[in-house]
Amino acid sequence: MIRRLLSKRFVRILLCFVITLVTLVVLLYVWTNWSGRRRWAAVKAMIEHEGETFDHLSLLPETPPAAQNLLAIEPLDGITETVDHDEAKGAPGAKRKALAALKLEGKAPASSGVDKGEIPDMQAWAKFLRETKYLDLPAVSSAPGKEILAALDVKFPVLKQLADLAPQRSQAMFTPGLRERELPEMLFSLSLRHYTAAQPLVRALCLRARAAIDAGQGADAARSLLAAEKIGLACESEPLLIGLLVGNTTEAQVNEGIWLGLQKRTFADADLRLLHQVLSTHDLDKALLQACRGEMAFGLNVMEYMQDVAAGRKKTKEDLASLFANQQQTAYRGAFLLPSGLFDHWKSVIAEQEWKHMIEPLRKGGIAAAVKSAEGVNTEMKEKHNLVLHPDYIMARLVVPALASVTEIVFLVQARERQALAAIALERFYLKHARYPAALQELVPEFATAVPLDPCDGKAMRYRTTPAGRYLLWCVGMDGKDDGGEIKKNGVPMRSPSYLGDWTWQYELAKTDSKK
């Protein structure tokens, strides 16, 4: 048997098989490299012909002059830096540590006025802040808003400093800006420590606004909300998806503060004009488009970095290893076995999908068009789920659906922002006429340049006054159906395509349909 296996005939057959197999593998490598280069060249030329760029540096915003930059004040200046690659070292580390003390620990009282019509309980807030030792407050509080406001200004003077300067400084960007920072070769390893500082800072400013509203100090509340809004805009100005999401979270908190101030009628006309001035310049269509452009450029940068590692052009792999969980770090070590053309195919599919389902729809029809187009992402990814038949879709399946789902979040934020602007105009009308208008058309041209539009269907936002002397203002929501302002509980969040009710701004407790 052994002699038979070792016969010349068998050896020749085995040798032919091995040679054939090696030839097929080599041909596969050659074909993959050739087809990948051609595909990537074609996709790149097509997208660049449409006026888009893969150069992340060209997407970075200019840093405003310090005198106009709200975030260039001493307690915040330089917090994007590190000393000797150590987050805790030097003045930047000390400033970040001071800002970290703004973070609220524990389960804070709920704040959901916009969605449910509930007014935050400042006594509950005072108790929470006292028990968590966040603020030094008296055991019994007769004026919780006033006491919280005073305690915040003593312990965290940066909040009042930002609020006081917010109307005067027209721009906001954390310093040094991305243009002034040394960027890593692999952009997804870029440290974004300023976002970690921004979130507790915004939350504390919105707490300060709620306290000021409870204390009847509308001007102070408006300035605090204005400062929080500008921090959110600073995050959104950077072409990063995470920056957009931080900015959107900020926007939601600012809208809660505006709702509360309007519900309690704390704002004077000057406060409302100040808030309107900044909110009306916010362009979420543009912000999402810029984030998608940045995400495409940054994602392709990662693919190119991996491609260079696989080809042996780069020796350092630590940044690449940081993308993987510990148990998966061996995965990238075998990258050198992959044909270079496979990376070109991955880049091509990512760019094609982000162009087709995100960037092009945003350019033509804004967020509403991107939400509709995002439905095609999931369909296409399901069709290409077989990794053997469609290895070129491996990376796109990891990246593109998550990017598409962000459009749903931003869509709701856009609707709420338009409602906030309409509500500000309605309150200014009320302050002048001691009544709310019978129709939104009465706001034009003194309080609004045009009738507010519902981003969901492009029609005039729905509105009616209520017997309680206030009004309902609503958008039709993701399903596109007008439910008369009814908020429906069907077990999914409002931003979900499966949500069946309206997105409503109202001042009474929300009437909901509890049907699942």
| One-letter identity of residue 27 | L
Q: Which pLDDT band holds residue 431 (cuts at 50, 70, 90)?
A: very high
Q: Give me the mean pLDDT over the 226-232 stretch.
A: 97
Cis peptide before 445 (omega within 30 of 0): yes
Segment among 233-237, 241-245, 327-331, 484-488 with least mean pLDDT = 327-331
Query: Which pTM does this prediction carry?
Result: 0.89
Mean pLDDT of the chain: 87
Per-residue pLDDT for 386 more than 70?
yes
Residue 6: per-residue pLDDT: 55
Q: Which pLDDT band holds residue 489 (cuts at 50, 70, 90)?
A: low
Distance in angstroms (rounded) separating the CA atoms of residues 382 and 357: 15
Place of tokens 């009814």: 486
CB-CB contact of 221 with 257 (8 Å): yes
Residue 335: per-residue pLDDT: 54
Residue 244: per-residue pLDDT: 95
Strands 471-475, 462-465: parallel, antiparallel or unpaired by DSSP?
antiparallel
More confident residue, 109 or 310: 109
CB-CB contact of 115 with 510 (8 Å): yes
Q: Give me the mean pLDDT over the 394-423 stretch.
A: 89
Q: Give me the mean pLDDT over the 225-252 stretch.
A: 95
More confident residue, 357 or 429: 429
Residue 208: per-residue pLDDT: 97
Q: Which pLDDT band holds residue 329 (cuts at 50, 70, 90)?
A: very low
Share of the chain above pLDDT 90, in %: 59
What are the tens digits of pLDDT across the range 2-38?
A: 555 556 666 666 667 677 766 666 676 778 888 889 9
Q: Which pLDDT band holds residue 327 (cuts at 50, 70, 90)?
A: very low
Per-residue pLDDT for 333 more than 70?
no
Residue 97: per-residue pLDDT: 92
Distance in angstroms (rounded) separating the CA atoms of residues 412 and 496: 9
Per-residue pLDDT for 325 more than 50?
no
Residue 116: per-residue pLDDT: 75
Residue 33: per-residue pLDDT: 85
Residue 219: per-residue pLDDT: 97
More confident residue, 309 or 409: 409
Q: Which residues does 116 contact at the CB level (< 8 Å), separation at least 6?
A: 509, 510
What are the tens digits of pLDDT across the range 57-81?
A: 899 999 999 999 999 999 999 999 8
What are the tens digits of pLDDT across the range 123-144?
A: 999 999 999 999 999 988 789 9
Distance in angstroms (rounded) separating the CA atoms of residues 126 and 211: 10
More confident residue, 114 or 448: 448
Residue 153: per-residue pLDDT: 96
More confident residue, 320 or 73: 73
Per-residue pLDDT for 243 more than 80?
yes
Among candidate residues 171, 190, 213, the one with its CA nearest the CA of residue 67: 171
Among candidate residues 223, 172, 216, the one with its CA nearest the CA of residue 70: 172
How remote is the C-alpha of 273 from its chain's centroid?
A: 26
Residue 515: per-residue pLDDT: 47
More confident residue, 474 or 379: 474
More confident residue, 381 or 278: 278
Distance in angstroms (rounded) separating the CA atoms of residues 374 and 354: 10
Residue 146: per-residue pLDDT: 96
Torsion sign across C-alpha atoms 430, 436, 437, 443: positive
Residue 490: per-residue pLDDT: 65
> In the chain, where are the structural domains located?
2-51+294-408, 453-516
Give the N- to C-terminal CA distance of the chain in Å, as an integer: 72
Share of the chain above pLDDT 70, in %: 89
What are the tens digits of pLDDT across the range 37-58?
A: 999 999 999 999 999 999 988 9
CB-CB contact of 104 with 200 (8 Å): yes
CB-CB contact of 312 with 335 (8 Å): no
Tokens of 112: 């959901």
Segment among 212-226, 329-343, 447-461 with least mean pLDDT = 329-343
What are the tens digits of pLDDT across the range 158-189?
A: 999 999 999 999 999 999 999 998 888 888 78
Per-residue pLDDT for 460 more than 50?
yes
CB-CB contact of 159 with 50 (8 Å): no
Among candidate residues 450, 288, 280, the one with its CA nearest the CA of residue 368: 288
